Structure 1
Amino acid sequence: MNDDRTLLGDGRYPDTGPLAVGARLAFMGALAAIVIAVFLPPSMVPDFVESTYLQHFAAFYVAALCGLAAMPRTRLRPIALGYLLFATGLEATHLLSGARFGSLVDNWVADLGGLAAAFAPVMVERFRRRFPRPEAES
């Protein structure tokens, strides 16, 4: 059994290792930041980029990466479904405040784009692992 505990090794990483703990804290921080940004008045939310759609994309991209790192044993579908429901619920809260439905759909699509961008490399890597590696020639 390989007991390589380095970050990029193939061995197991401890659940209480600093990176594992940091990933869980980053995950909670990312979700909290999104929720706070949704409920703050627009004048109090800092503009990181000119486009609100890019802000939505980036927020959910970072949150999804943090979530994937924080839950390494959880299957991708439940994580993706949780984020989908989270994004849908947050955008739906704007309907209660009288926001235009069309802009909410655009924001929701940007949220899902960030999620897709974060999940795609993980899914491709899992697909690649299904193919056997050629035996090394001696």
Structure 2
Amino acid sequence: MSEPATYPDTGVLAVLARMGFSLTLLAIFLASIAPGWLTPKLFQSHYLEHFAAFYVAVCAGLAAMPRMPLRRIAMGYLAFALVLSVLHYVRGGVPEVSIRNWVADAGGVMAALSPVVVERFRRLFAPRPS
């Protein structure tokens, strides 16, 4: 038997996934340092925007880094969100808002990772004999 074919790291989809990953991180960073009037309002809730931004970013990160452990991806995004929250606080933000921003970011991270974790858990079980 031959080994299953793997997708090359230089394939079009792999390159696009890494570009999407980079663009999501850049967009989140720029949105966090830009004045409020300059950032687009996509949802009614500011916290829902944080949740959605990190949900999309983690999905892009999972596609861009398929071999990286999930814990490392999660910790990287949570650290990135923490840095942005501290930056918000240092720039004169209210501490409660900075904490709530981080919680919304962390919720987006966990929501994006949960289907992957559940699928890996399901793979631990052998199929039932017919």
Above 0.5 in TM-score?
yes
Partner of 2:86: 92
Q: Which ranges in structure 2 are unaligned for 5 or more consecutive residues?
A: none
Report how far residue 94 of structure 1 moved: 1.1
> How many correspondences in the alignment?
129
Partner of 2:39: 45
Q: Does 1:25 align with 2:16?
A: no
Structure number with the bigger relative contact order (C-alpha 8 A, sep ≥ 6) is: 2
Instruction: Tell me the distance in 2 between the aligned counterparts of 1:85 and 1:76.
Output: 14
Length-normalised TM-score, structure 2: 0.94
Report how far residue 2 of structure 1 moved: 5.5
Partner of 2:10: 16
Displacement over 6 Å in runs of 4+? none
Instruction: Tell me the distance in 1 between the aligned counterparts of 2:16 and 2:127.
Output: 33
Seq. identity, %: 50
- Tell me the secondary structure at the aligned position of residue 42 of structure 1: coil
Q: Which ranges in structure 1 are unaligned for 5 or more consecutive residues?
A: 4-10
Which letter does structure 1 place at the counterpart of 2:80?
F
Instruction: Tell me the distance in 1 between the aligned counterparts of 2:95 and 2:59.
Output: 28
Q: 1:13-42 CA distances to partner (integer Å, 9 max, x unpaired)?
A: 221221111110000000000000011100
Length-normalised TM-score, structure 1: 0.89
Partner of 1:129: 123
